[in-house]
Amino acid sequence: MDAFWNDDLATADPEIAAAIASELGRQRDKIELIASENIASRAVLEATGSVFTNKYAEGYPGKRYYGGCDYADVVESLAIERAKSLFGCNFANVQPNSGSQMNQAVFLALLEPGDTFMGLDLNSGGHLTHGSPVNMSGKWFNPVSYGVEQGSERIDMEEVARIAREHRPKLIICGGTAYSRLWDFAAFRAIADEVGAILLCDMSHISGLVAGGAHPSPFPHCDIVTSTTHKSLRGPRSGIILWNDEKFTKPLNMAVFPGLQGGPLVHVIAAKAVAFREALQPEFGAYAHRIVENARALAASLEENGLRIVSGGTDNHSMLVDLTAKDVTGKDAEKGLDRAWLTCNKNGIPFDTRSPFVTSGIRLGTPAGTTRGFGPAEFRTVGKLIAEVVEGLSQNGPEGDARIEESVRARVSELCRAFPVYPGM
Ligand SMILES: *Cc1c(COP(=O)(O)O)cnc(C)c1O
């Protein structure tokens, strides 16, 4: 048993330890531009890897189905209180294991199978859980989607109202994964009131900005707000549900447990509490505003270097780059940029004619780069580097221009060395 208690991971499992070490190297050496990713603090990582991984705590603080939950109660109560003060709402459920599960819980709590709901179309930047035909939300419920307008590539609230009047959805969802403009929560509220719908905001992507005051809050307009905690909010991989009206408390809590989940991930709840505490500090507001400032700098630099930004810019942390004019696919751009140590994902653009496996665009985000310390100057450089790689692909086809990619890689390395990630690890 000595080895069981004492061996560290490198001794106990060299293969997994090596993969983790390589992943740390990847996060250090490449520039992370995936809009849904971030770099959590050492404290968040430590809580996630804590002894709470051993604990069963089915139920809620003070009402558990297992003994020995005193400290689990401390952790979950702190997470709830901090989430409430962070987002200025009356109730919080911090148990959803993921973003998908938090949304499933809302559906389970409020809808019957077959009920009609509205969400942003996947092709316009919506999330799978907002009614995609391959997701449970689209298979067991009746999704009606709204999209962006062809010219402006923005959501047209008149059109949202028209669709809502026609279909009378029981639930309307605002929020998405690849929409870079502000959400008019008040206008969504008015539409929901008119058709008698419950209004849900899934603020997964922008919750860090909301917490830091760099994006309008979905409260008090939305009835229920869900969010992942690992994107701009910079916590562990997980989800939360927030609301103000007590009438939702029982259905939502019952939907999470016992409706969908068993024992909550107490170690992850502990890490969420840590992340919420971080987000309550004044520095977090500065970080959130910097994310937006950096996104504007990146978008401007890409445009100056000849790339088109969908909708002409961004109001948040993310943007879609349309590569159509360069005759480069999103798939090839993702691969070429990865060869140059710039990590991003291919993404469909509105009215994309290519398949989701190919696409005509890439999605870029600034949260991870902002966390490592990049400011507008660094992001302007990143925009220039991206444009160089894309130009190489445009000239030479999918294999790109090796000389350009090598030169970009050298400049990426320089930036990464100047802004180290987890220097003490
Ligand atoms: C990321 C995301 C989710 C899903 O989160 P997972 O933790 O990956 O399940 C749900 N909704 C939106 C809007 C998201 O961006």
Q: What is the mean pLDDT of residues 66-77?
A: 97
CB 229 within 8 A of CB 236: yes
Q: What is the mean pLDDT of residues 153-180?
A: 97
* 152 and 82 part of one domain: yes
- The CB-based long-range contact list for 379-382 (8 Å cut-off, 24+ gap) reads 379/294, 379/295, 379/297, 379/298, 379/301, 380/297, 380/298, 380/300, 380/301, 381/301, 381/411, 381/415, 382/31, 382/33, 382/298, 382/301, 382/342, 382/415
Alpha carbon of 118 to ligand 1 centroid (Å)? 17
In a 3-state reduction of DSSP, which class is residue 289? helix
Q: How far is CA 227 from each of CA 47, 209, 282, 419, rounded to the nearest angstrom?
A: 20, 12, 21, 29
- CATH no. for residue 355? 3.90.1150.10
Domain end position, chosen among 232, 259, 279: 279
β-strand pairing of 342-343 with 345-347: unpaired
Domain end position, chosen among 217, 247, 279: 279
Ligand 1 pocket, mutate which of 37, 204, 318 (most atoms under 8 A from CB): 204
* 348 and 230 part of one domain: no
Q: What is the mean pLDDT of residues 71-98?
A: 98
Does residue 41 lie within any of the structural domains? Answer: no
pLDDT for the residue 41: 98
pLDDT for the residue 63: 96
Does residue 6 lie within any of the structural domains? Answer: no
Does residue 36 lie within any of the structural domains? Answer: no
- Kindly indicate the confidence band of residue 38, based on its pLDDT and cuts at 50, 70 and 90: very high
d(CA 425, CA 145): 46
* 168 and 305 part of one domain: no
Q: What is the mean pLDDT of residues 28-57?
A: 98
Catalytic residue among 29, 115, 156, 237: 237
In tens, the pLDDT along 317-346 reads 999 999 999 999 999 999 999 999 999 999
β-strand pairing of 345-347 with 361-365: antiparallel
**Structural domain tally of the chain?**
2
- CATH no. for residue 162? 3.40.640.10
pLDDT at residue 1 greater than cutoff 90: no
* 223 and 315 part of one domain: no
pLDDT for the residue 144: 98
CB 408 within 8 A of CB 385: yes
pLDDT for the residue 235: 98
- The ligand 1 atom at the shortest distance from the C-alpha of residue 231 is 1
* 211 and 302 part of one domain: no
pLDDT at residue 149 greater than cutoff 90: yes
- Kindly indicate the confidence band of residue 37, based on its pLDDT and cuts at 50, 70 and 90: very high
Domain end position, chosen among 248, 279, 310: 279
pLDDT for the residue 163: 98
* 217 and 96 part of one domain: yes
pLDDT at residue 417 greater than cutoff 90: yes
* 208 and 118 part of one domain: yes
Does residue 23 lie within any of the structural domains? Answer: no
Query: Above pLDDT 90, what percent of the chain?
Result: 99
* 327 and 223 part of one domain: no
* 131 and 176 part of one domain: yes
* 178 and 76 part of one domain: yes
Does residue 104 lie within any of the structural domains? Answer: yes
Q: What is the mean pLDDT of residues 149-163?
A: 97
In tens, the pLDDT along 186-216 reads 999 999 999 999 999 999 999 999 999 999 9
Residue 100's domain spans which residues? 48-279
Does residue 43 lie within any of the structural domains? Answer: no
Q: What is the mean pLDDT of residues 144-167?
A: 97
* 256 and 398 part of one domain: no
pLDDT at residue 261 greater than cutoff 90: yes
Q: Which residues line ligand 1 (CB under 6 A)?
A: 36, 98-100, 103, 127, 129, 175-177, 202, 204-205, 228
Does residue 38 lie within any of the structural domains? Answer: no
* 266 and 142 part of one domain: yes
Catalytic residue among 58, 81, 115, 388: 58
Does residue 138 lie within any of the structural domains? Answer: yes
